[in-house]
């Protein structure tokens, strides 16, 4: 019976890690779920094979991913010629879009909402600042690409985190 429980818990551990990677693009905190799962495993196994140092490393990667994702859209709007207002528009628009998108179509709507929201927020604020629709559209597109890049970067970090866990587990 103990072997069945152990096998089930190991299966659930790996399942949660894999699902965590897939929820990152949807705007859910998959990187922190990875950290929490490894931390829980550590508590249950006296931190064998996962040490406190590994958990701190994973937490640092998760925090880095959040920072990259948060500022990528704003930085991209700036790179495409946007003002500070458009940078804030990308951030606030992405957040508002995620909330609205989740309300319209749960889960997938979050991703669509954050991308559309970043575009609208950056373009709208740039238009208010410059009264130039071409510039506003270019800046909005930049915010869209940056937000997409931020999600992709965070997804990449989540995959790296799981690979680190796998390699530590098999050592």
Closest by CA position to 63, among listed 91, 26, 92, 29: 29
Q: Is 134 exposed, middle or buried (0-12, 13-18, 19+ CB in 10 A)?
A: exposed
Inform me whether the pLDDT recorded for 102 exceeds 90. Answer: no
Q: Which helix (H) or strand (E) holds 131?
A: none
pLDDT at 140 over 80: yes
Q: What confidence tens digit (pLDDT) does each residue in 26-77 have? A: 888 999 999 999 999 999 889 989 999 999 999 999 999 989 988 887 889 8
Q: What is the pLDDT of residues 107-125, one digit of tens each?
A: 788 889 999 999 999 999 9
Query: Has this prediction a pTM greater than 0.85?
Result: yes
What is the model's pLDDT at position 73?
Answer: 79
Exposed (0-12), middle (13-18) or buried (19+): which is 164, by Cβ within 10 Å? middle
Over residues 140-151, the mean pLDDT reads 94
Flag whether pLDDT at 92 surpasses 90. yes
Mean pLDDT estimate for the chain: 93
What confidence tier does 142 reach under pLDDT thresholds 50, 70, 90?
very high
């Amino acid at each position: 019976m103990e072997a069945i429980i152990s096998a089930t818990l190991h299966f659930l551990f790996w399942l949660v890690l894999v699902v965590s990677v897939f929820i990152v693009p949807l705007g859910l905190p998959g990187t922190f779920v990875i950290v929490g799962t490894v931390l829980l495993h550590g508590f249950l196994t006296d931190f064998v094979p996962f040490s406190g140092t590994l958990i701190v490393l994973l937490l640092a990667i998760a925090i880095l991913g959040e920072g990259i994702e948060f500022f990528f859209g704003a930085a991209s709007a700036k790179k495409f010629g946007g003002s500070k207002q458009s940078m804030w528009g990308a951030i606030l628009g992405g957040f508002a879009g995620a909330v609205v998108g989740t309300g319209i179509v749960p889960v997938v709507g979050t991703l669509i909402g954050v991308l559309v929201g970043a575009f609208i927020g950056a373009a709208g604020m740039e238009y208010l600042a410059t009264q130039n629709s071409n510039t506003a559209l270019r800046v909005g597109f930049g915010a869209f690409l940056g937000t997409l890049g931020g999600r992709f970067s965070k997804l990449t970090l989540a995959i790296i985190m799981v690979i680190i866990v796998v390699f530590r587990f098999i050592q």
